[in-house]
Amino acid sequence: MNRLTELLDAYQRRDPAARNKLEIFLLYPGVHVLINHRIAHFFYKKHMHFLARCVSQWSRFWTGIEIHPGANIGKRLVIDHGMGIVIGETTEIGDDCLLYQCVTLGGTGKDKGKRHPTLGNNVMVGSGAKILGPFTVGDNSRIAAGAVVLSEVPPNSTAVGVPAQVVRVSGRKPVASFANDVDQINDMHDPVQEELLALFQRMDSLEQQLKTIKERTA
């Protein structure tokens, strides 16, 4: 019961549309899928795999969110909207994470063993982002909407682009409530755009220097 109360509190903090806990409990698919996942995960650990998959597939049918029974999920995971989310069997998710719709936490092949990502604590994953492979996304990190992450993301970082590139969050210290910042757009710096801008500025500077030299020699 305490864990459910914590979950409902987390939804109220992070979702401005959430009006009260009763509404969240009755109507939010993210809450329903997590409750069902606890049941499925229990059967999975008892090696009752058929029952585990029955529960998870029934939950997928009703919520549009697919979580494999083997996935390990921490406390206070908030799934915003949730439609189209896929979470693989060996995925590990820390506490206080936030996932938006159409996120994939998947593998890259048919390898056995650990083949899905590990999310640290306080990680935010934006809409449509894909995190593929058995690596770690560090604590307090943010994955921008639409990013495709194929390698490890250090703690307190931002990953953007396809394939994703990591940008340190300048001037921001790690804080426990990092994932409470639900902005998927602002502060998501695009390193490619910044590099192109620097090149354009350099070209303008060189053109000005060349123009000055021509005027002096004319």
What is the domain range of residue 204? Answer: 190-218
Name the average pLDDT for the chain: 85
Digit-coded pLDDT (tens) for 153-177: 999 989 998 888 887 654 454 444 4
DSSP string of the chain, one letter each residue: -HHHHHHHHHHHHH-TT---HHHHHHH-HHHHHHHHHHHHHHHHHTT-HHHHHHHHHHHHHHHS-EE-TT-EE-TT-EESS-TT-EE-TT-EE-TT-EE-TT-EEE-SSS-SS--S-EE-TT-EE-TT-EEESS-EE-TT-EE-TT-EE-S-B-TTEEEETTTTEEEE-TT----TTGGG---SSTT---HHHHHHHHHHHHHHHHHHHHHHHHHHH-
Please give the pLDDT value at position 148.
Answer: 93
Same domain (yes/no): 126, 202: no
Number of domains within the chain? 2
Same domain (yes/no): 204, 183: no
Same domain (yes/no): 43, 124: yes
135-139, 205-209, 213-217, range with the lowest pLDDT: 213-217
Same domain (yes/no): 161, 210: no
pLDDT over 70 at 178, yes or no = no
pTM of the model: 0.74
